[in-house]
A and B are shown apart, each in its own frame.
Chain A
Amino acid sequence: MPPVLRLLAKRLGTSLIVLIGVSLLIFAIARVIPGDPARIALGPNATAEAIAALRERLHLDDPFVLQYGYFLADLARGDLGISLYTNRPVTRDIADYLPATLELVIVSGIMMVALGLPLGVLSARYRGSWIDHVVRMVTLLGVSAPSFVWAVILMLVFAFYLPLFPIAGRISDSYTISSVTGFLLVDTLIAGDVKAFGNAAWHIVLPAFALALSGIAQAARLTRSNMVETYERPYIEMAKSYGFPEKRIAWRYAFKPSLIPSMTIIGLDFAAMLGNAFLVEAVFAWPGLSRYGVAVILRKDLNAIVGTVLIISAMFLIVNVIVDLLIAFINPRIRYSQRAS
């Protein structure tokens, strides 16, 4: 088996174990927090019989282990139960809300890499110059304020005072796009509606940037400090003494080794955005999974809580596996250590 495949198999295996652990944990926590889900779902005027019937239907009176067993059996069939909040299957709700969040987070992730890394490289290559100072000032601002503050500021400045961007939502109401993937940026292209695509892209810029800003800043600062350190390494001096072009030294000889620690953090930041997205989604009225998750927690909607957390954990783990693979791709030492083990 090629080392990269072996690594993939190993990471997927451990991810599965983690996922089972998470399901057990969230399943237990959701049942330990006070409040009767059946009573909350049926409202203050429900009769004792109705509540008892719902508790029976949800298996709430069974021992915990048995409840978990039912849950696993359902999960194996791809059934996460019915949401008491929306009265629809949890899987349907997630299928509706997840693409909006994923779309936002993916665009933010792209911004993080596409803006953060080059800024860091520029800053390191011209360290001590005005470029470096400007980048460091801006990135310090980026990391020191949370994303919802940026969401409000960006919205005020670029949507309200200077109406350059739409203030809320995913797409203007005048467009009706049939949902295929749930990703508007993809669906509009499938529909062949370039104008609708432009409109959706125009809507996503501000929320994605607000969400990405701290990640961009983090990536830039980390890349800068790693590269400054790499510039002190003997192999950079060797590259200079052999007269390799400065630009190649920066982009190939210093950037690639510096990328390894940056990638880990970028991966974690990327996965953390799934959770952070909630406040940004709230500010921009973005119909995403994070907003759904908070709504169901407040309602103690057991099935929906467990389902949402499970999906977000799975996304987190998938992102981590991807990052691990990317790092193995960049760092030959990790790639080859898999062969030895």
Chain B
Amino acid sequence: MNTLRIRDLTLGFKGWSGTVEVLHGISLHIGRGERVALVGESGSGKSVTARIVLGLLQSLRSTRLSGLVEFEGRDLSKLSERERHALRGTKMSMIFQDPTSSLNPVYPILTQFHEVLRRADPAINLTGARARAEKALADVSITDPSRALDSYPFQLSGGMNQRVMIAMALANDPSLLIADEPGTALDVTVQAQTLRLMREQVERHGTSVLFISHNLGVVREFADRVYVIYKGRIAEQGPTAALFEDPRHPYTRALLDAVPRITGDGIPEIEDASDAYFAPTEVHEGYGEPEGAA
């Protein structure tokens, strides 16, 4: 059974001047323990997809959704708001772009960790939370977990906060971790360190990951499979190595060309938009969506 299966998902937001279509029928799946990247430019629909999986958009009145989102074999649209809420923070969790601003500035780390742990174990007290949090922070190579727990987010570096976020995200052993542009706000060396750490941790926990990014370098190092998304449509999908070696879709090629080289060939020129970007989805052999079992 796949951890996550999305089929023909469309999303629109109803506004004053009619409905704005954001997703035009995307399909993807994440197997158990698999790391899957969703790559695209800003506004392509990556982040809203993550929020639909978390069930955060369903309660908005302006949301128009269709298609199937299945988490561990359960159709999310058939779950009540309460049941969807029960999954958040326990079975699925999320890591955000900027760790420092994602932590509440007026509470020490321990208080926030306690709140996270309480999602899975409502009876846990502060002492119990402290013990578990210290262990979780030690796992992400924080040298003095006790001191970190008593600190406020502004007293820790961005890299430390990112480690705290990773530890929090995995504290309740979720089956799906959604990482929305993790560490984009950090500088590159710290980003690399924390990504390596995240990778070690998800491998150890056997967590499936939906990795959302626009950074192709990071994706190449982190993901097993890649979906390239452009304006709410999947442009290309396949295993990471094959996709990078043999990009078939015009948009994927443009995206790869857009990365500035360290050799100094100047800032690459790419077309803003092109009809070719709307070409049908390219699927690498054997990496299409699983059929049947709807």
Q: Is B119 an interface residue (CB 8 A)?
A: yes
For A252, the chain B residues whose CB sits under 8 A away are: 107
What is the CA–CA distance of A276 and B90 in the complex, to the nearest angstrom?
54
Shortest Cβ distance from residue A241 to the other chain B in the assembled complex, whole angstroms: 4
Q: Is the CB of A336 within 8 A of B155?
A: yes
Shortest Cβ distance from residue A255 to the other chain B in the assembled complex, whole angstroms: 10
Q: Is the CB of B106 within 8 A of A238?
A: no
Q: Is B290 an interface residue (CB 8 A)?
A: no
Chain A contacts with B in 216-251, Cβ cutoff 8 A: 233-235, 237-244, 248
Q: Is the CB of A333 within 8 A of B152?
A: yes
What is the CA–CA distance of A135 and B103 in the complex, to the nearest angstrom?
31
Q: Is A330 an interface residue (CB 8 A)?
A: yes
Tell me whether chain A's interface is mostly helix, strand or loop, or mixed. helix
Q: Is the CB of B105 within 8 A of A242?
A: no
Q: Is the CB of B154 within 8 A of A242?
A: no
Q: Is the CB of B105 within 8 A of A333?
A: yes
What is the CA–CA distance of A244 and B56 in the complex, to the nearest angstrom?
12
Shortest Cβ distance from residue B55 to the other chain A in the assembled complex, whole angstroms: 9
When C-beta atoms are compared, the residue in chain A nearest to B165 turns out to be A238
Q: Is the CB of A234 within 8 A of B96?
A: yes
Using known A-B contacts A234-B102, A253-B104, A256-B106, determine if residue A242 contacts B88 with beta carbons closer than 8 Å. Answer: yes
For A331, the chain B residues whose CB sits under 8 A away are: 106
Q: Is A332 an interface residue (CB 8 A)?
A: yes
Chain A 295-328 near chain B by CB (<8 Å), digits 1 or 0: 0000000000000000000000000000000000
A235: which of B94, B103, B116, B152 is its contact (CB, 8 Å)? Answer: B103
Query: Residues of A within 8 Å of B, CB-based: how many?
Result: 22
Query: Residues of B within 8 Å of A, CB-based: how many?
Result: 28
Q: Is A257 an interface residue (CB 8 A)?
A: yes
A244: which of B103, B106, B115, B152 is its contact (CB, 8 Å)? Answer: B115
Q: Is B89 an interface residue (CB 8 A)?
A: yes
Shortest Cβ distance from residue B150 to the other chain A in the assembled complex, whole angstroms: 11
Using known A-B contacts A234-B96, A238-B94, A238-B96, determine if residue A243 contacts B102 with beta carbons closer than 8 Å. Answer: no
Q: Is B93 an interface residue (CB 8 A)?
A: yes
Most buried by A among B93, B105, B152: B105
Shortest Cβ distance from residue B4 to the other chain A in the assembled complex, whole angstroms: 15
Most buried by B among A235, A241, A330, A331: A241
| Number of A-B residue pairs having CB atoms within 8 Å of each other in the complex | 67
What is the CA–CA distance of A248 and B115 in the complex, to the nearest angstrom?
10
For B108, the chain A residues whose CB sits under 8 A away are: 332
B88: which of A243, A253, A332, A336 is its contact (CB, 8 Å)? Answer: A243
For B96, the chain A residues whose CB sits under 8 A away are: 234, 237-238
B115: which of A233, A234, A240, A242 is its contact (CB, 8 Å)? Answer: A242
Shortest Cβ distance from residue B99 to the other chain A in the assembled complex, whole angstroms: 9
B102: which of A235, A248, A260, A330 is its contact (CB, 8 Å)? Answer: A235
Q: Is the CB of A242 within 8 A of B89?
A: yes
Q: Is the CB of A332 within 8 A of B105?
A: yes
Shortest Cβ distance from residue A252 to the other chain B in the assembled complex, whole angstroms: 8
Q: Is the CB of B89 within 8 A of A234?
A: no
Q: Is the CB of B54 within 8 A of A235?
A: no
What is the CA–CA distance of A49 and B209 in the complex, to the nearest angstrom?
98
Shortest Cβ distance from residue B243 to the other chain A in the assembled complex, whole angstroms: 28
Shortest Cβ distance from residue B269 to the other chain A in the assembled complex, whole angstroms: 34
What is the CA–CA distance of A164 and B198 in the complex, to the nearest angstrom?
67
7 smallest CB-CB distances across A and B, nearest first, come from: A243-B88, A242-B89, A243-B89, A241-B94, A234-B102, A235-B104, A238-B102
B contact set with A: CB distance below 8 Å: 54, 56, 85-90, 93-94, 96-98, 101-108, 115-116, 119, 152, 154-155, 168
Q: What are 23 A-B pairs at a CB distance below 8 A? A: A237-B102, A238-B94, A238-B96, A238-B102, A241-B56, A241-B94, A242-B88, A242-B89, A242-B93, A242-B168, A243-B88, A243-B90, A244-B119, A248-B115, A253-B104, A256-B107, A257-B105, A257-B106, A331-B106, A332-B105, A332-B106, A332-B108, A333-B154
A contact set with B: CB distance below 8 Å: 233-235, 237-244, 248, 252-253, 256-257, 260, 330-333, 336
